[in-house]
Amino acid sequence: MKQIKRTIIAEALKRTDIGAEVNIKGWVRTKRGNKNVNFIALNDGSTIKNMQVVVDLAKIDEQLLKAVTTGACLSVNGILAESLGQGQTTEIQATEIDVLGKADETYPLQKKGHSLEKLREIAHLRPRTNTFGAVFRIRHNMAIAIHTFFHQKGFYYFHTPLITGSDCEGAGQMFQVTTMDLNNLKRTEDGKLDFSEDFFGKPTSLTVSGQLEGELAATSLGAIYTFGPTFRAENSNTPRHLAEFWMIEPEVAFNDITDNMDLAEEFIKFCVKWALDNCADDLQFLNDMFDKELIARLQGVLKDSFVRLAYTEGVKILEEAVKNGHKFEFPVYWGVDLASEHERYLVEEHFKRPVILTDYPKEIKAFYMKQNEDGKTVRAMDVLFPKIGEIIGGSEREADYDKLLARIQELNIPMKDMWWYLDTRKYGSCPHSGFGLGFERLMLFVTGMQNIRDVIPFPRTPKNAEF
């Protein structure tokens, strides 16, 4: 085969030098035609669009074409031509075809459509479908948007450890990390497990959040963000929970809760606008296939300012709704940790735009949040989104050493795990705030997908760690 430098299909579709000799490589989506001419739709992942390869059977060996089946990998040399077909600008008139990798009739992604549930069982192949190609290209774009946003604002990307000895959220939903022989565990004299023999010499876990170390960084570098995997051993089999998910956690010295809300709103809007500006083809596909209101919903979020409301006011609205006959699955009263149905009622039914709920009861929030004067609430903020419910959780942090220490003791958090964190309040303490955005929750919103298992390549959920 003649050596020609490869052009990716996204580029080849835009080229205007009709008549040029080109090479493309990719996987066969479909082949159709008659005994004179065949049309092969080739996709290389660079775009949702396929390149049409036109094969004149007088020029290409028919025997070779037998191996050109759905899923096979091809290298194609040919002449770039203007396409007369709808929805494409160029096509390739093949001069030479090389089958790099065959795919026989057992290839699971034959032409017929598959349900998203079925595709989860073949997560190793699903990126080759239009849907998952679109989702993962958007996922990449969202990551770039996030780094761009913070870099432009002068934040530093700070790397926090994944293995930790402390439980940031205090919810006890951590995966243990150990090299101890689980079939032969040593115990101390009082019958407890002997962690002195373990790899780190003490109990350790996978982190649920990079926030605590993020605060160390914010109170020295000024403004930082983390962006990495986090792990939660919560046994919630819902369309919005993963055991391994990615989180973005900005933390800013001298920001109060209002600055924090402003940052969160600007940040999400930047990401949504980035998707609209950079992922038009993929969004259009998802809009047409799954959710006819997707693009309108994304544009809507850019237009409106987010409602800002105290938890207490939010609960009043929900109680009023119950009084007027609205049925929720879970009860609602002051002090309850709101369920996603409550959050979505506020956003979708009542206000019809995103809501930032603030000043939650301290009992349902983490130890590090700034305590309000009322003695009952903390300066927390959750950003609630249509279709999703909570997309961001954050707060102003308790900057007062004594108040923070008192709360740590009240909650029986082991002090030996926390000494380094308390040092931020001991030496040059300052007001500061931050939040965590669940990357996959953002992905759910931006793609319109219904299940969080469909916006991460290889989901980890209870009883599922395949691939």
Q: Which does 227 bind (CB under 5 to 8 A by kind): Mg ion, ligand 4AD, none?
A: none
Q: Which does 209 bind (CB under 5 to 8 A by kind): Mg ion, ligand 4AD, none?
A: ligand 4AD
Q: Which does 282 bind (CB under 5 to 8 A by kind): ligand 4AD, Mg ion, none?
A: none
Smallest distance, ligand 4AD to C-beta of residue 136, A: 17
Site of interaction with ligand 4AD (CB under 6 A): 168-169, 209, 211, 232, 234, 241-242, 245, 247, 249, 390-395, 434-436, 438, 440-441
Smallest distance, ligand 4AD to C-beta of residue 394, A: 4
Q: What is the 3-state secondary structure (H, E, C) of the chain?
A: CCCCCECCHHHHCCCCCCCCEEEEEEEEEEEEECCCEEEEEEECCCCCCCEEEEEECCCCCHHHHCCCCCCCEEEEEEEEEECCCCCCCEEEEEEEEEEEECCCCCCCCCCCCCCHHHHHHCCCCHHHCHHHHHHHHHHHHHHHHHHHHHHHCCCEECCCCCEECCCCCCCCCCCEECCCCCCCCCECCCCCECHHHCCCCCCEEECCCCHHHHHHHHHHHCEEEEEEEEECCCCCCCCCCCCEEEEEEEEEECCCHHHHHHHHHHHHHHHHHHHHHHCHHHHHHHHHHCCCCHHHHHHHHHHCCCEEEEHHHHHHHHHHHHHCCCCCCCCCCCCCCCCHHHHHHHHHHHHCCCEEEEEEEHHHCCCCECECCCCCEEEEEEEEECCCEEEEEEEEECCCHHHHHHHHHHCCCCHHHCHHHHHHHHCCCCCEEEEEEEHHHHHHHHHCCCCHHHCCCCCCECCECCC
Smallest distance, ligand 4AD to C-beta of residue 255, A: 12
Q: Which does 211 bind (CB under 5 to 8 A by kind): ligand 4AD, Mg ion, none?
A: ligand 4AD
Site of interaction with Mg ion (CB under 5 A): 393
Smallest distance, ligand 4AD to C-beta of residue 435, A: 5
C-beta closer to ligand 4AD: residue 126 or 370? 370
C-beta closer to ligand 4AD: residue 89 or 372? 372
Smallest distance, Mg ion to C-beta of residue 393, A: 3
C-beta closer to ligand 4AD: residue 108 or 229? 229
Q: Which does 347 bind (CB under 5 to 8 A by kind): Mg ion, ligand 4AD, none?
A: none
C-beta closer to Mg ion: residue 49 or 240? 240
C-beta closer to Mg ion: residue 441 or 453? 441
Q: Which does 96 bind (CB under 5 to 8 A by kind): ligand 4AD, Mg ion, none?
A: none
Q: Which does 48 bind (CB under 5 to 8 A by kind): Mg ion, ligand 4AD, none?
A: none
C-beta closer to Mg ion: residue 277 or 363? 363
Smallest distance, Mg ion to C-beta of residue 407, A: 18
Smallest distance, ligand 4AD to C-beta of residue 169, A: 5
C-beta closer to ligand 4AD: residue 123 or 268? 268
